[in-house]
């Protein structure tokens, strides 16, 4: 008999807050789309003289949507009304343009936009409206009803109707499937974050109990069990969650190859960006978990090779502007540390410096200075970006902290940097001024001594353009 696991109060609260955020962001996006659709109708009226349709139908559609939304703010009924309203705008545009059949693509754009609500059922009212609209208007045109402006074809036969509706419903189904998978992925993501926190709390409680109990053996066995569960959980994250995201990206790539609609391609780009952000967030969680559990692997560090590899990986990160990367590496003394952990630290800091460049700055740059001595390695990463207020600098290393609501990251980057440095017994300091830039100074002590001589490597003032 299967065991039913009830969600905890914390899980329900976290999930409720997440879905509320999705709803609010989607509602805001829909406001822009509806206003845009209404204005497009007015623009078409300038060329075709269909002012009565543009103002009358457009105004009634907006009035119906916002009336339901205001009257029933806690219901999802207005979202289903939205699906029908988007279909009405499609019909309005077809009529305004005297039966231009290509305006049916407006329904497909609307279908893609509805994915943001992560509710596949919202595709149903849009699909029903499209089917009824085509059936009724096609039939009326075929029996000789004039002034319909449904299609510029002389006759809309039954075969054409079936093929058109079938293809439209396939697209609605694909968009509904994406909405369903996004919702499920986010629910799994929410549960896994809370589960990690619960496992970490349980692990801390077991550690305290182990110090106070007489039988350390029993406590150690319980700790091993908890760590084993955490290992299994991380494995589930990396395979069971990231694999569907990769599949979704593949579906989007296939769909992009099968359409030339600019609007659809833009929407596909937005979906790919959201999926990549979610995948990046999962990768941050994996890096945090590995840092806490895996032992340090001491190796010789080739700083020029390590830093240049990271810069090359990030060179396409910012496509809007080019950011100059200046390298000044003096690896004059052999340095031994954990290469993987150093890569995580440098990658996070360099990526932040590139992303938060100052758009008003004519020559944005990131300076990376590395020097080693008998004590260890000193690393400075400076930029002339937007900077951080003094009052916020003590919070930037907190878990899930974001400087502003416009921040695109997971809020884990600098927290992982701090935790990774603690694992290496390193330190980090921040010096920043808004509008001037930010500088992170890192010191990491040398690891275990190598008996084999280490070849010295030096790199000076290399520059790369990122963007």
Greater confidence (368 vs 393) lies with 368
pLDDT of 443 reads: 92
Query: Quick one: DSSP state of residue 258?
Result: T
CATH number at residue 349: 3.30.565.10
- Residue 111, in any domain of the structure: yes
pLDDT of 466 reads: 58
Query: Quick one: DSSP state of residue 241?
Result: I
Q: Same domain for 274 and 317? A: no
Question: Distance (Å, rounded) from C-alpha 227 to C-alpha 411?
Answer: 25
Condensed to tens digits (0 to 9), the pLDDT of residues 413-433 reads 788 888 888 888 889 898 888
Q: Report the DSSP beta bridge partners of residue 116.
A: none
pLDDT of 148 reads: 62
pLDDT of 163 reads: 84
Are 243 and 282 spatial neighbours (Cβ–Cβ below 8 Å)? no
Domain C-terminal end among 260, 294, 328: 294
Give which of 340, 341, 324 is closest to 424, Cα–Cα.
Answer: 341
Question: Distance (Å, rounded) from C-alpha 212 to C-alpha 49?
Answer: 85
Contacts 24+ apart (CB under 8 A), 233-241: 233/192, 233/195, 233/196, 233/199, 234/286, 234/289, 234/290, 236/192, 237/192, 237/282, 237/285, 237/286, 238/282, 238/286, 240/188, 241/185, 241/188, 241/189, 241/192, 241/282
Name the 3-class secondary structure at 367: strand
- Residue 197, in any domain of the structure: yes
Q: Same domain for 23 and 162? A: yes
Whole-number average pLDDT of the chain: 77
Residue 461 confidence class, pLDDT cut points 50, 70, 90: very low
Q: What is the rounded average pLDDT of the residues 336-342? A: 86
Residue 180 confidence class, pLDDT cut points 50, 70, 90: confident
Give which of 381, 384, 336, 383 is closest to 361, Cα–Cα.
Answer: 384
Q: Same domain for 324 and 368? A: yes
pLDDT of 62 reads: 92
pLDDT of 164 reads: 81
- Residue 263, in any domain of the structure: yes
Domain C-terminal end among 258, 273, 294: 294
Q: What is the DSSP string of 91-121?
A: HHHHHHTTS-GGGGHHHHHHHHHGGGG--GG
Q: In what order do the strands lie in the sheet with 427-433?
A: 427-433, 437-445, 376-383, 365-372, 323-331, 457-466
Condensed to tens digits (0 to 9), the pLDDT of residues 291-334 reads 555 677 888 888 888 888 888 877 766 666 688 888 888 876 78
pLDDT of 406 reads: 53
Q: What is the rounded average pLDDT of the residues 344-371? A: 84
Q: Same domain for 89 and 176? A: yes
For the cut 50, the answer to whether the pLDDT of residue 451 exceeds it is no
Q: Same domain for 287 and 421? A: no
Between strands 323-331 and 365-372, the pairing is: parallel
Domain, as residue range, for 199: 8-294
Q: Same domain for 72 and 12? A: yes
Q: What angle do CA 430, 434, 437 make, to 5 degrees?
A: 55
What's the structural domain count of the chain? 2
Residue 59 confidence class, pLDDT cut points 50, 70, 90: very high
Q: Report the DSSP beta bridge partners of residue 71.
A: none
Q: What are phi and psi of 134, to 5 degrees?
A: -65, -40
Question: Distance (Å, rounded) from C-alpha 16 to C-alpha 25?
Answer: 14
CB atoms within 10 A of CB 245: 17
Greater confidence (128 vs 73) lies with 128
Q: Same domain for 285 and 314? A: no
Q: What is the DSSP string of 165-191?
A: HHHHHHHHHHHHHHHHHHHHHHHHHHH
- Residue 227, in any domain of the structure: yes
Residue 38 confidence class, pLDDT cut points 50, 70, 90: very high
For the cut 80, the answer to whether the pLDDT of residue 213 exceeds it is no
For the cut 70, the answer to whether the pLDDT of residue 456 exceeds it is no
Question: Distance (Å, rounded) from C-alpha 459 to C-alpha 194?
Answer: 45
pLDDT of 293 reads: 59
Q: Same domain for 380 and 239? A: no
Give which of 228, 209, 232 is closest to 219, Cα–Cα.
Answer: 209
Task: State the distance between the two ends of the chain, measured CA to CA, in whole angstroms.
Answer: 56
Greater confidence (357 vs 282) lies with 357
Q: What is the rounded average pLDDT of the residues 357-382? A: 86
Between strands 437-445 and 376-383, the pairing is: antiparallel
- Residue 3, in any domain of the structure: no
- Residue 388, in any domain of the structure: yes
Residue 380 confidence class, pLDDT cut points 50, 70, 90: very high
Length in residues, the chain: 467
Greater confidence (134 vs 276) lies with 134
pLDDT of 460 reads: 47
For the cut 90, the answer to whether the pLDDT of residue 63 exceeds it is yes
pLDDT of 441 reads: 92
Q: Same domain for 211 and 330? A: no
Please compute, for residue 164, the number of CA atoms within 13 A of its CA located in the half-sphere on the CB side.
19
Q: What is the rounded average pLDDT of the residues 249-257? A: 72
> Which parts of 294-355 fold into alpha helices (H)?
303-313, 339-355
- Residue 22, in any domain of the structure: yes
- Residue 217, in any domain of the structure: yes
Question: Distance (Å, rounded) from C-alpha 399 to C-alpha 416?
Answer: 8
- 73-87, 164-178, 243-257, 298-312, range with the lowest pLDDT: 243-257
Q: Same domain for 176 and 307? A: no
Q: What is the rounded average pLDDT of the residues 17-44? A: 87
Domain C-terminal end among 250, 271, 294: 294
pLDDT of 291 reads: 57
Are 161 and 138 spatial neighbours (Cβ–Cβ below 8 Å)? yes
Q: Same domain for 316 and 278? A: no
pLDDT of 357 reads: 79
Q: Same domain for 245 and 306? A: no
């Amino acid at each position: 008999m299967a065991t039913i696991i009830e969600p905890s109060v914390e899980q329900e609260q976290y999930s409720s807050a997440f879905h509320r955020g999705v709803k609010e962001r989607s509602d805001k996006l829909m406001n822009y789309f509806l206003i845009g659709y209404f204005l497009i109708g007015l623009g078409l009226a300038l060329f075709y003289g269909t002012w009565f349709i543009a103002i009358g139908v457009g105004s009634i559609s907006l009035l119906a949507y916002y009336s339901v939304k205001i009257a029933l703010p806690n219901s999802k009924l207005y979202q289903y009304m939205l699906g029908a309203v988007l279909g009405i705008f499609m019909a309005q545009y077809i009529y305004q343009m005297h039966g231009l059949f290509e305006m049916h693509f407006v329904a497909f754009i609307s279908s893609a936009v509805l994915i943001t609500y992560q509710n596949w059922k919202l595709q149903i009212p849009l699909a029903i409206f499209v089917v009824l609209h085509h059936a009724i208007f096609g039939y009326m045109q075929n029996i000789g009803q004039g002034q319909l402006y449904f299609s510029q074809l002389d006759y809309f036969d039954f075969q054409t109707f079936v093929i058109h509706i079938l293809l439209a419903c396939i697209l609605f189904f694909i968009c509904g499937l994406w909405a369903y998978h996004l919702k499920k992925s986010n629910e799994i993501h929410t549960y896994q974050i809370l589960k990690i926190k619960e496992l970490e709390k349980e692990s801390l409680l077991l550690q305290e109990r182990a110090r106070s109990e007489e039988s350390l053996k029993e406590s150690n066995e319980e700790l091993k069990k908890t760590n084993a569960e955490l290992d299994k959980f991380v494995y589930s994250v990396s395979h069971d969650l990231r694999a569907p995201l990769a599949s979704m990206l593949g579906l989007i790539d296939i769909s992009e190859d099968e359409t030339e609609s600019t609007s659809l391609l833009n929407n596909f780009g937005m979906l790919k960006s959201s999926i990549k952000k979610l995948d990046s967030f999962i990768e941050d969680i994996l890096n945090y978990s590995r840092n806490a559990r895996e032992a340090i692997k001491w190796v010789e560090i080739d700083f020029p090779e390590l830093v240049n590899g990271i810069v090359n990986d990030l060179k396409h990160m910012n496509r809007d502007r080019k950011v100059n990367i200046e390298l000044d590496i003096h690896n004059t003394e052999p340095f031994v540390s954990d290469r993987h952990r150093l890569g995580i630290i440098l990658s996070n800091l360099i990526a932040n410096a590139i992303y938060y460049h100052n758009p008003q700055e004519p020559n944005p740059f990131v300076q990376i200075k590395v020097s080693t001595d008998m004590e260890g390695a000193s690393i400075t990463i400076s930029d002339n970006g937007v900077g951080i207020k003094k009052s916020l600098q003590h919070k930037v290393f907190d878990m899930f902290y974001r400087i502003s609501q416009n921040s695109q990251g997971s809020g884990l980057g600098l927290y992982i940097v701090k935790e990774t440095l603690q694992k290496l017994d390193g330190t980090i300091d921040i010096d920043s001024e808004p509008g001037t830039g930010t500088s992170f100074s890192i010191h990491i002590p040398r690891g275990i001594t190598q008996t084999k001589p280490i070849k010295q490597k030096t790199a000076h003032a290399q520059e790369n353009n990122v963007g």
